[in-house]
Amino acid sequence: MEEQQEHLLKSETLIDDSAPSLLSRRPDSRHLHRRLHFFLLYVVNALLVVSLMVLLVRREKCVDPSLKTYMPANDAVEWEETVFIDMPGEVSPYLGTPSDEIDELWDQLYTGTGFLLFDPEETRRMVEPTVAIPTSGGDSGLYGMEVFHELHCLNVLRKSLYPERYPHYQLWNENCTRNPNMERHLAHCIDRLRQGVQCAGNTGTHFYFWSEEAGHWKMDMRSRHTCRNFERLQEWARARDYTGFDPFVRSHSTADM
């Protein structure tokens, strides 16, 4: 009997001794709350990172690829909706028998945009070296802008059609031989414009309408386009116009910067 009581006492002692150990293994509610808090923070941060990456990818896709090549004027690009005119009765002010007024319109397209001065920071970001022009902030670079050169070429081609008014642009000499300098100039302009047209890859569409008068389908080329605001580019370029350049005076290049 005494042995049984002693055994029971030992058993109770074991139970009492083990009780705190078992209780200590029960999860602390505060500890669980803290772990849950950190887990939720981790999930929220992960979602924020994923969202940011998605936004960056979408933004990259929205950028006009033609603006990825660094050019200072890219910041001046604005867009506008335009309808091209090309129908009977819609006379372009740039066409017609040459006159002083038409000449002035063409000249104003690119006057004051021949030599553009890029500031030192813009010049450092350009890939191609050019003439260096000393300025207060360091060497600036002298550049030209394609759109104005292309307009110059178009004007040269226009003038070559009217040698009686523009004798310096005629392809034929008085002795019926070709003017080699003008021939090279025209050939250069034609191929330069070809490259520009192919580069732009205009996807505007024209359509057709039935003409009772003509008795056949005719083309209507009043197509809609989303164009770069040309006046904005003119303003940007004319603000950088540089008139002190002498092409016959040798100076150092931006390649030495």
Confidence grade of residue 23 (pLDDT, cut at 50, 70, 90): very low
Q: What percent of the chain has pLDDT over 90?
A: 65
Residue 200: half-sphere exposure toward Cβ, Cα within 13 Å: 15
At 103 the pLDDT is: 98
Domain ranges of the chain: 71-247
DSSP string, 208-219: EEEETTTTEEEE
HEC secondary structure over 68-88: CCCCHHHHHCCEEEEECCCCC
Q: What is the predicted pLDDT for the residue at 201? A: 95
* Contact yes or no for 47/197 (Cβ under 8 A): no
In the 8-state DSSP scheme, what is residue 27? Answer: P
Contact of 113 with 243, CB cutoff 8 Å: no
Tens of pLDDT, residue by residue over 167-186, are 999 999 989 999 999 999 99
pLDDT band at 116 (very low <50, low <70, confident <90, very high): very high
Q: What is the mean pLDDT of residues 223-249?
A: 96
Task: Identify the pLDDT of residue 27.
Answer: 54
Of the two residues 143 and 24, the one the predictor is more confident about is 143
Per cent of the chain over pLDDT 70 is: 82
For 106, other C-beta atoms within 10 Å of its C-beta total 18
Read off φ and ψ for residue 84, nearest 5 degrees.
-70, 140
Q: Output the average pLDDT for the chain.
A: 86
pLDDT band, very low/low/confident/very high, at 248 (cuts 50, 70, 90): very high
What is the average pLDDT across 124-150? 96
Higher pLDDT, 190 or 29: 190
Which band of pLDDT confidence, cut at 50, 70 and 90, is reported for residue 109? Answer: very high
Query: Mind listing the pLDDT tens digit for each residue in 213-229?
Result: 999 999 998 899 999 99
pLDDT confidence bin for 88, thresholds 50/70/90: low
Residues in Cβ contact with 2 at an 8 Å cutoff, skipping those fewer than 6 apart: none
Give, to the nearest 10 degrees, the angle between helix 146-160 and helix 230-238. Answer: 110
More confident site: 74 or 56: 74
- Banded pLDDT at 19 (limits 50, 70, 90): very low
